[in-house]
Chains A and B, each alone.
Chain A
Amino acid sequence: MKAFAEKKVLLSNVGAIDPERIEDYLDRGGYEGLRAALKRSPAEVVGEIKESRLRGRGGAGFPTGLKWELVLKSRAKTRYVVCNADEGEPGTFKDRVLMEGDPHRLIEGMTICGYAVGAKRGFIYVRGEYALSIRRLERAISQARQRGLLGRKILGSDFSFDLEVRAGAGAYVCGEETALLESLEGKRGWPRIRPPFPVDYGFRGKPTVVNNVETLANVPEIMCRGAAWYRTLGTGDSPGTKLYPLSGALNRPRLVEAEMGVPLRTLIYDFGGGLPGGRELKGVLVGGAAGAFLAPEELDVPMDFKSLWEIGAGLGSGAVLVFDETACVIDVLWSVLSFFAHEACGQCTPCRVGTVILLSLLEKVQNGSGDPAVLEKMLKVTHLMKVASLCPLGQSVRLPVETALEKFRREFESHLKEGPCPQCKATTEVHA
């Protein structure tokens, strides 16, 4: 089996440069990707990204080059580039580390994207809580303008492009791309019905590329080193490196970067330092709250889009949340469901009502007042939410619920039989 070490491509500057000085970024080859791009035609730049087989890092894994091509080929004159920096998925802090530690990489990636698809303006929609990210990005943008790397006729070319940072105001659903666009337009963040997709009908109805921070941060490297180099990293289906935010019961919770396909076990025991106090691992929540629970038998799964999909999970944000033998799965699921119940935007009934019903059913399990039919009822609700919810927020709630029930069924049943465990008690007492 291939031995995996940490591999710093996107994180190569983080911690090594002063993120408030553009000189540091330039000294390490910064904006060379933009220079390389401007020497080629927009179609060639799109072609390079397509050949790299870069896939979106926001969770869905859509081919980035294809998305860009759809906007490039559009007939509309006005087009936009929007960076989704509304990172709110529990267990996820990768985009924050990138924006705080190396803001110019994102700006460079967005500018290349703007050139490739024919956009003149771009927006970085950062969640409002990320105050430091917002400050660093704004500073970096003004430095880039002063150096002619943003604004009119960039680096003496005919290409003009400018960027603006927009702060969100506290709504998880705005991480869904069409809700984000609504919010950017000054409205409440209610997801739109798709199709049409943002590549056809985006910001103010114009064709728009919406890409995650991590996705765009890959772009300068691909332009510098080429698609062939990029494809030597990771797996055939999911090339490149991936940022994996490690949290929970670990000795070294932190952000690590490794090639796609790194086994979950390596992330936990090598990069995360294993569990504290020699405790036993009970399970892992992979991909965020909208992710899947994995059992200890599944730790050898390669962490890429295809391998996780094949075992009924998903890569999501790449988040790895570890819990040990002392944790209660029902209590962890309670926390996941209260997150969704709070963050459901209220637009569609299946999600608005479904999340609350799920939470009340689970609380019956927690306080020992449920009957065995409760678990089947939960699965009925998640199925309904899967088929009838308007956006991925509601559709994906089934994943944590179904995987928790499938893999930790006995723990649910023992709660039903024997009443609440001490952790569930502590939680329900506080929230009574």
Chain B
Amino acid sequence: MREGRILLARRVNRQEIVRKFPRREDQLLPLLHALQRANPQNYLTPDDLRAAAEHLRLPLAAVYDAVTFYSMFSLFPRGRHIIRVCRSPTCHLLGAIPLIEALERELGIRIGETTPDGFFTLEAVSCLGLCDRAPALMIDGESFGPLAPKDVRELLTQYREVKR
């Protein structure tokens, strides 16, 4: 019952979001960003893709084509907060691998996975442009670095407390 109400709420919400965008195909990325942001599970559902395609008068395949190209879009549920850890050459040189290992250990998941409570998803990114603070990571829009493996536990605990 509760599930049904949430689904209904999201459908209404989806139409509200979609309507704000002009019906031009160059609006696709902004619209997809908005739809994904509105989903607490940080992903694009098949209904999202259909709504975008209909509104912009694009074939569904064209929307799917774009979505699968960009690493920030997901077709599968993710955590409420996304940890993006940098593995660029600079971060690699200054200890990205031990940092990633510490994150995986502390969260009990591997890169690409979501914690069982749905709080964090851990992703690796090619370069975050935080090279002056390497090794670095971002949680949602916030930057952290330089980080040693021993800093990970405190960072995650604090983040959980603030955002809970």
A residues near B, CB below 8 A?
A: 87-93, 96, 127-132, 166-172, 183-189, 204, 245-249, 253-255, 285, 289, 319, 321, 323, 327, 331-332, 335-336, 338-339, 342-343, 345, 426-427, 430
Q: Are B29 and A186 in contact (CB under 8 A)?
A: yes
Tell which of B11-19, B121-129, B154-162 binds the partner: B121-129
A245: chain B residues within 8 A (beta carbon): 131-132
Q: Are A323 and B131 in contact (CB under 8 A)?
A: no
Q: Are B93 and A128 in contact (CB under 8 A)?
A: no
Instruction: Provide a sorted-by-A list of 28 A–B residue pairs whose CB atoms are within 8 angstroms.
Output: A87-B129, A88-B126, A88-B129, A90-B126, A90-B127, A91-B90, A91-B127, A128-B33, A129-B72, A169-B33, A169-B71, A169-B73, A170-B72, A172-B127, A186-B25, A186-B56, A186-B66, A187-B25, A188-B69, A188-B70, A189-B69, A253-B132, A253-B134, A289-B127, A331-B92, A335-B88, A335-B93, A339-B89
Kindly state the separation between the CA atoms of A329 and B27 in the bound complex, as whole angstroms. 44
Task: Find the A residue at minimum CB distance from B88.
Answer: A90
B142: chain A residues within 8 A (beta carbon): 131
Kindly state the separation between the CA atoms of A381 and B53 in the bound complex, as whole angstroms. 40
Q: Are B29 and A169 in contact (CB under 8 A)?
A: yes
Kindly state the separation between the CA atoms of A151 and B129 in the bound complex, as whole angstroms. 32
Closest 7 CB pairs of A and B: A131-B141, A186-B28, A169-B70, A170-B71, A188-B69, A247-B131, A170-B72
Q: Are B26 and A248 in contact (CB under 8 A)?
A: no
Q: Are A335 and B132 in contact (CB under 8 A)?
A: no
Task: Find the B residue at minimum CB distance from A89.
Answer: B127
Kindly state the separation between the CA atoms of A427 and B65 in the bound complex, as whole angstroms. 33
Q: Are A248 and B27 in contact (CB under 8 A)?
A: no
Q: Are A88 and B132 in contact (CB under 8 A)?
A: no
Kindly state the separation between the CA atoms of A88 and B128 in the bound complex, as whole angstroms. 7
Option from A129, A248, A323, A335 in Cβ contact (under 8 Å) with B129: A129
Extra contacts besides A169-B70, A187-B28, A335-B88 (19): CB < 8 Å: A90-B90, A90-B126, A91-B89, A128-B70, A132-B143, A167-B29, A168-B70, A170-B70, A170-B71, A172-B126, A172-B127, A245-B131, A247-B90, A255-B132, A289-B127, A321-B90, A332-B93, A335-B87, A430-B100
What is the distance, in angstroms, from B139's C-beta to the closest C-beta of chain A? 11
Task: Find the B residue at minimum CB distance from A87.
Answer: B129
What is the distance, in angstroms, from A187's C-beta to the closest C-beta of chain B? 6
A131: chain B residues within 8 A (beta carbon): 138, 140-142
Kindly state the separation between the CA atoms of A214 and B49 in the bound complex, as whole angstroms. 36
A96: chain B residues within 8 A (beta carbon): 129
A339: chain B residues within 8 A (beta carbon): 88-89, 126-127
Q: Are A166 and B90 in contact (CB under 8 A)?
A: no
